[in-house]
Amino acid sequence: MITGESVHHAAHLASATTDKNLQLALKVLPAIVVILAGSALCGRLAIWLRQPRVLGEMVAGVLLGPTLFGALFPDAQRAVFAPEVKPILYVLSTIGLTLFMFLVGAGLDHGSGKGIKDMRNAGVLALSGILPSLLLGAAAAFVLYGKLSRPGVSTFEFALFLGGALSITAFPMLARILYERNLQNTPIGRMTLLGASVDDAAAWCFLAVLSAMHTGSGAPQALRTIGLTAVFAAVMLLVVKPLLRPLGERVERTGTFGFDHMYLVVGIVLLSGLFTDYIGIYSVFGGFIAGLAMPRNPAFREALHGRMMDIVCVLLLPIFFAFSGLNTELGGITNWTAFAIILAAGFIGKYAGCAAAMRTVGFTWRESWAVGGLMNARGLMILIFINIGLAQGMITPQVFAMLVLVAVITTAGAIPLYRLALPERLEARMLPTPGESGPAGAAVPQGERAPA
């Protein structure tokens, strides 16, 4: 238990040395220990409640912020997460999320599907995940504008922002859920990951356009972001990917994946994240596209996941969740009718829209409702989205709090809705056999998967 005495003792140790770097280390390391302890506890509780561990990690991040820890022990919370600690946590969280999405992209067995048909169906899913939520969210914003909007923000901007926020799918969280259940290379898993990746990439481009409108930087800046994103994806998949193919063949032939290979791979990932951060679409997509550019050889993918996945999931991702939670405060919701309208708009748009679209491209109704439930998870990606909106003055703290609660509720409902549509006996029929799953199927340790 964290007490005032222990916090002050740690602070005394940090101030007792004149080495600035050591002082910083003595502040950062306790914060990481607290994050890991909270994530482990809440993750285990989530599994006990038949939820994915990642939901518990998300809740742990929120609870470590001002919502609970800061409310009960404000002095201890300020000492553990001191202002000079937060930039370090931000850097670690960004690296962790970028590396995880790289591993998702590298493990995505997109080559074993039906190629163009898979991509077309994923496009249909992405469109169905964006348009209904965008339209329903915008309609809710028009109704609630006079009660919730910040002065100086036009009705049009408020409607676009609320609709855009509700159209997001928690791509990293969705990937964790699918990996925990070993579903990433099933038809539903591939379709959902591809659809969600397109969905979120479009949402970030949408946010770039909206930010340009709000800040007055104009359409040229937004078009530059979208154009550079397309160029980056084309270069990675059409130029870098063929250049890396001999690396995969060498690993397949020799069975060795050495430090030189790791230097090259990690360098590509971080440079990709740096570039996409620079152009304004967040490093997560740079990491994912870098993963898609990696060789598809089974030995290469197995070595890559074996070297990186555990440390990323256990150490770096909880820091990402915690850092996001430090900027989140659940409170200030006074208009619960407005919250119910926003929640309904977001839920119906994703759940019904994605399910209907999947049924039209040939999936069964059970599979379609399962995809609708998974796509309805929003996680902390919506928190990143609305944090930007709050910082730029596009929404009020009350709207921010409402959208945080929407994220928690819709994400918590993803697995129950999925399980309702696809009980364990039906899901088992979709799981790939050991010979078909490839190394990506072992990306998350057995003990980390949510219970059936």
Q: What is the pLDDT of residues 212-237, one digit of tens each?
A: 666 655 567 667 777 888 899 899 99
pLDDT of residue 449: 38
Query: Is the pLDDT higher at 226 or at 262?
Result: 262
User: Of 140-154, 249-263, 383-397, which gets the smallest average pLDDT?
Assistant: 383-397
Average pLDDT, the chain: 80
Q: Alpha helix (H) ranges present in 236-297?
A: 241-254, 259-279, 283-292
Token couple for 87 = 């930039």
Token couple for 426 = 């039906």
Residues near 372 by beta carbon (within 8 Å), at least 6 away in sequence: 350, 351, 352, 353, 354, 355, 358, 417, 421
pLDDT of residue 367: 85
Mean pLDDT value of segment 341-348: 93
How many domains would you assign to the chain?
Answer: 1
Residue 63 lies in a domain: no
> Is the pLDDT at 452 greater than 70, yes or no?
no
Q: How many residues does the chain have?
A: 452
Most confident of 145-159, 231-245, 322-336: 231-245
Mean pLDDT value of segment 306-334: 82
pLDDT of residue 439: 37
pLDDT of residue 343: 94
pLDDT of residue 34: 94
Q: Taking the C-alpha atoms of 243, 244, 245 and 249 in order, what is their torsion angle to the nearest 10 degrees? A: 130
Domain, as residue range, for 345: 92-448
Residue 37 lies in a domain: no
pLDDT band at 431 (very low <50, low <70, confident <90, very high): low
Angstrom distance (rounded) from CA 408 to CA 332: 16
pLDDT band at 326 (very low <50, low <70, confident <90, very high): confident
- Three-state SS at 295: coil
pLDDT band at 444 (very low <50, low <70, confident <90, very high): very low
Query: Is the pLDDT higher at 39 or at 106?
Result: 39
Mean pLDDT value of segment 67-75: 86
What percentage of the chain has pLDDT greater than the value 70? Answer: 83
Query: Is the pLDDT higher at 443 or at 333?
Result: 333
pLDDT band at 451 (very low <50, low <70, confident <90, very high): very low
Angstrom distance (rounded) from CA 355 to CA 375: 9
Residue 29 lies in a domain: no
Angstrom distance (rounded) from CA 35 to CA 57: 9
Most confident of 318-327, 402-411, 436-445: 402-411
pLDDT band at 8 (very low <50, low <70, confident <90, very high): low
pLDDT of residue 344: 94
pLDDT band at 448 (very low <50, low <70, confident <90, very high): very low
Most confident of 25-29, 151-155, 215-219: 25-29
Report pLDDT digits (tens) over 389-408. 887 788 888 888 889 889 88
The answer to whether the beta carbons of residues 380 and 322 sit under 8 Å apart is no
pLDDT of residue 244: 92
Residue 7 lies in a domain: no
Q: How far is CA 177 from the centre of its chain?
A: 11
Which residue reads 């994912």 in tokens?
288
Mean pLDDT value of segment 112-132: 73
Angstrom distance (rounded) from CA 380 to CA 208: 18
Residue 203 lies in a domain: yes
Query: Is the pLDDT higher at 368 or at 113?
Result: 368
Angstrom distance (rounded) from CA 438 to CA 182: 11
Token couple for 219 = 């359409």
Distances (CA, A) of 119 to 113, 173, 187, 197, 418: 9, 21, 12, 11, 22
Query: Residue 374 carries which side chain, given as an amino acid letter?
Result: L
Query: Is the pLDDT higher at 240 or at 117?
Result: 240
Angstrom distance (rounded) from CA 345 to CA 347: 6
Residue 395 lies in a domain: yes
pLDDT of residue 36: 94
Residue 17 lies in a domain: no
pLDDT of residue 447: 34
Q: Which of 319, 299, 304 is nearest to 252 (CA)?
A: 299
Which residue reads 């048909």 in tokens?
117
Angstrom distance (rounded) from CA 145 to CA 159: 8
> Is the pLDDT at 3 greater than 70, yes or no?
no
Q: Alpha helix (H) ranges present in 280-363?
A: 283-292, 298-311, 317-326, 336-360
> Is the pLDDT at 197 greater than 80, yes or no?
no
Residues near 424 by beta carbon (within 8 Å), at least 6 away in sequence: 452
Q: Which of 43, 30, 71, 35 is nearest to 320 (CA)?
A: 35
Mean pLDDT value of segment 15-19: 65
CATH of the domain at 191: 1.20.1530.20
Residue 233 lies in a domain: yes
